[in-house]
Homo-oligomer: A and B are copies of this chain.
Amino acid sequence: MRIAELGRRSGVPVPTIKYYLRAGLLPPGELTSPNQARYGEDHLHRLRLVRAMVDVGGLSIAAVGEVFAALGEQRKGVSGALRTVEAAVTPVPEDLDAEAVALGVAFLERQGWVPDDRSPAFRALVGVLGTAREVGQEGFADLLDGYARACLGLAEADLDYAIGDGAEPELDQALERVVVGTVLGDAALAAVRRLARREVAIRRFGHAEDECPRGECAGDGCAGESGVVENGAREGGA
């Protein structure tokens, strides 16, 4: 297809596609004349990956370039590639507060996890702990053990998804799934966490008068559970 069709099918404006080509995020098309090129389904797929990382993940063009470079370095194996991809998609603070580092190290020790004071994820976590202390929310660190328990289960499922159910993962596809799972997974997890918190808040506190999610009650709370309110009694409430 020509670049105009690539633009139509991907929803990405042609000038933007040209910019991605110049930045090396898309391989060049096959030249059919000195100033015209043909593009294939691979280009369309790659273009959608770029948009997923930019639009959903908020990645910079430079970071997307690093991710694609990491995808090319297959010799690193799955855990090495994970580290490179995560370095590209994780904003890392420059200066770390020593007390926050100690909190982070203690967190890893409590979980019995491999120590990892160089990784972007660890440094990002320490940055959050430092900020929490600065705003007077020292207790925030106590939530992390629960996060760790929840995330171990998620990690098993994420990895199962990335490697498929074959005995040997196909590294090419696995790494692409790691990228998608990391970038889209962050966004999906944040969204699901909010939906879950709203659900739990409605179950505990009811909801404001003007926003009954079912349009069924007069503001004194209605069932958040499976939607069954019998005889006006709230089921399973605290």
Contacts and interface: CB of A to CB of B under 8 A. Distances in A.
A124 B193 CA distance: 12
Contact of A78 (B155, B192, B201): B201
Given A137-B184, A161-B140, A208-B76, A52 B83 contact: no
- What is the copy number of this chain in the assembly? 2
A122 interface: yes
Chain A interface, DSSP helix/strand/loop, else mixed: helix
A121 B190 CA distance: 8
Contact of A201 (B119, B124, B159, B180): B159
Interface string A127-140: 11101101111011
Interface string A155-179: 1111101000000000000000100
A154 B161 contact: no
B114 A227 contact: yes
Contacts of A232: none
Interface string A5-25: 000000000000000000000
Nearest to A212: B114
A187 interface: yes
B146 A157 contact: yes
B161 A82 contact: no
Contacts of A199: 111, 113-114, 152, 155
B208 A121 contact: no
Nearest to A226: B112
B213 A152 contact: no
Given A135-B49, A150-B154, A80 B189 contact: no
A200 interface: yes
Given A55-B93, A144-B188, A147-B192, 15 more contacts: A48-B136, A51-B134, A56-B127, A112-B227, A125-B191, A125-B192, A125-B195, A127-B187, A139-B161, A148-B196, A149-B153, A150-B150, A154-B193, A155-B200, A159-B197
Interface of A: 45, 48-49, 51-52, 55-56, 58, 76-80, 82-83, 86, 90-91, 93, 108, 111-116, 119-122, 124-125, 127-129, 131-132, 134-137, 139-140, 142-144, 146-159, 161, 177, 180-182, 184-202, 204-208, 211, 213-214, 224-227
